[in-house]
Structure 1
Amino acid sequence: MNQIIIFDFDGTLADTLDAVVRITNRLSGEFGYLPTNPETLSQIQNLSSWQIIQQSGISLFKLPFLLKRVISELNQDLQLIHLFPTIPEIIQQLQKKNYTLYIITSNSKINVITILSRYNLVNSFKNVYSGISLFGKHKIINQLLNQENIEPQQVIYIGDETRDINAAKQAKIKSIAVSWGYNSAEILLQHHPDALIAHPSELIAVIEQIKNPIG
């Protein structure tokens, strides 16, 4: 059975947190929420995605428009955004092990491809699925599975936020949470991923363990 790895992009493969904080702080007055400072950022990372929205006080009506603006302005900051250290090498190793790789992201496809191209990794991924939705990632996962004729048991999904774990559960696929992105290890564990890792160097071993469980 062909093994499928689906990656989230922002906070999982690419270090976009600083850029997103700068952009959302710049837009805070326009959209009606408080800007973030280093102290509040560490607090926010211990909240689930839904708790962050509730605490910010932003109108749910405005949220899709904010997401579109953030993605649009990220396009202007792409030169400041890089993949996390060792991620390019890990992607290449997964390819050599004959995993089929995809990306699902709330970012734009052009932003993702622009960053991947810097590392000559565009062709490492069979496809990039993009959708501007905070809580609809399971729908994008299901769209990918349907369009690519993939069974859920073939798939491991890797993300850095509680909503990634929840989306994987809704799509009935395995999940690996990573703690180097937007959410802390503590809040990720509360949402019960199939595995939690703290460094990219752990990724391949944990994928192999999930694929071939002992006992």
Structure 2
Amino acid sequence: MTKKQRINNTLKSGVFGILTAIVLAVVGYLWVNATQLLVDIEGFGLGKMVLWFPLVGYLVMGVAAIVLVYGIFQLIRGFSAKNKHVEKTEEVKKNQQDVLATERSLFEKGRIKGVIFDLDGTLLNTIEDLTDALNTTITVFGYPEKTTEQVKAVIGNGMRNLVKGVINPEASEEEIETILKAFLDAYAVSYQNKTAPYDGIHALLKELNGKGYLMGVISNKRQEYTVELIKKIFPDIPFVDVVGDHEDHPRKPDPTTTKLIIQEMMLSSSQVILVGDSQVDVQTARNANIPVIAVTWGFRSVEELTEANPDYFADTPADIFDIVMDINRKTEELLTN
């Protein structure tokens, strides 16, 4: 029997007791009056025995009084229990609502709402313009031309390191600076010639934007090139911030800039995921304490990326959207089960 059923039974017994008391009181009253009439006319020959008849009525009325008290007590007890049950039920409902609110809050904290992208090898295929500018420069200084594959092997950690990776490893700082300046001058002229987004990237960004996801870009490419390429190629995508290599912040894999973009998004680290194509990007995500998707169409081989141990792999831009959706779905299922 449930508590609610017990309360209802208590209330019913109280009502039944009061009704019974009323009936007994009426019967007792009528009995007293009827027998009193017998006493008044000297009992119709029943003698002194008739004097006891009214006492039976008074006894019945006494029982009625006791039953009445019992009925009233049961009603009070029942209504008191009912009120407590209602209060408890409301408290339970409130606690359930609080739990649901807490679960929703946890879900929102664990739900991906922001995506930070690397630029070269992730959003844009910049390798041909980089290779052309690099070869234009280093051949002047007596170095042989490099293939795009050779350039891919040393790209991703800033322009200076790119230059150092294709010239004499024992070159002096003065020579490095001279070649770097010439390379930057050459790249400033040609960096938009052949650079283009990878197939499916624009559609991905539009879909993420349409779903309300916040997006940012962080690159070890010079700030001016990074910003100009984004403005030219993705003018319709409202990135929260686009940050390249500049003196105000250290380069990746330092997490400083990544954390700043997360702050600008007004999200927590658990709500943001990084997308990149290199070991540097994976390490950046680790340093910023956020998950990372490694794309396989960029400048690093799958074997190199596997060694970096990213959280997810994406073979196409559409995979990125699917991964984000899957993370959010699993987070919600975890909290609702």
Normalised by the length of structure 2, the TM-score is 0.53
Q: Is the 8 A contact 1:177 1:197 kept in 2?
A: yes
Between stretches 93-102 and 121-130, larger displacement belongs to 121-130
1:9 deviates by: 0.8
Superposed CA RMSD: 3.6
Residue of structure 2 in register with 1:158 after alignment: 275
Q: Which has the higher contact order (CA 8 A, sep 6+)?
A: 1
1:6 deviates by: 0.3
1:9 aligns with 2:119: yes
What does 1:1-215 correspond to in 2, within 5 Å? 1=108, 3-28=113-138, 35-37=145-147, 40=150, 44=153, 57=169, 70=183, 73-77=186-190, 78-132=192-246, 135-213=252-330
1:122 deviates by: 5.0
Q: Is the 8 A contact 1:185 1:196 kept in 2?
A: no
1:94 deviates by: 0.3
Any idea what the Cα deviations from partners look like across 1:113-170, whole Å, max 9, x if unmatched?
Answer: 4333444535421211122565444222123234544311111000111100011101
Taking a change above 3 Å as real, the CA distance of residues 198 and 135 of structure 1, as seen in their structure-2 partners, is: same
Tell me, what secondary structure is at the counterpart of 1:212?
Answer: helix
Q: Is the 8 A contact 2:253 2:287 kept in 1?
A: no
1:20 deviates by: 1.4
Taking a change above 3 Å as real, the CA distance of residues 140 and 39 of structure 1, as seen in their structure-2 partners, is: closer
Question: Structure 1 or 2: larger helix share?
Answer: 2
Q: Is the 8 A contact 1:48 1:187 kept in 2?
A: no
Tell me, what secondary structure is at the counterpart of 1:124?
Answer: coil
Between stretches 144-153 and 23-32, larger displacement belongs to 23-32
Tell me, what secondary structure is at the counterpart of 1:88?
Answer: helix
Which protein is bigger by CA-based radius of gyration?
2
Any idea what the Cα deviations from partners look like across 1:42-97, whole Å, max 9, x if unmatched?
Answer: 7x38x996xx9779626695778867765554332213211112211110000111
1:176 deviates by: 0.5
Between stretches 113-122 and 78-87, larger displacement belongs to 113-122
Give ranges in structure 1 of 5+ residues lacking alignment. none
Taking a change above 3 Å as real, the CA distance of residues 124 and 188 of structure 1, as seen in their structure-2 partners, is: same
Taking a change above 3 Å as real, the CA distance of residues 138 and 14 of structure 1, as seen in their structure-2 partners, is: same
- Distance (whole Å) between structure 2 residues aligned to residue 8 and residue 108 of structure 1: 13
Any idea what the Cα deviations from partners look like across 1:3-38, whole Å, max 9, x if unmatched?
Answer: 110011111111101111222333336789764236
The aligned amino acid for 2:211 is: K
Q: Is the 8 A contact 2:221 2:244 kept in 1?
A: yes
- Distance (whole Å) between structure 2 residues aligned to residue 145 and residue 28 of structure 1: 38
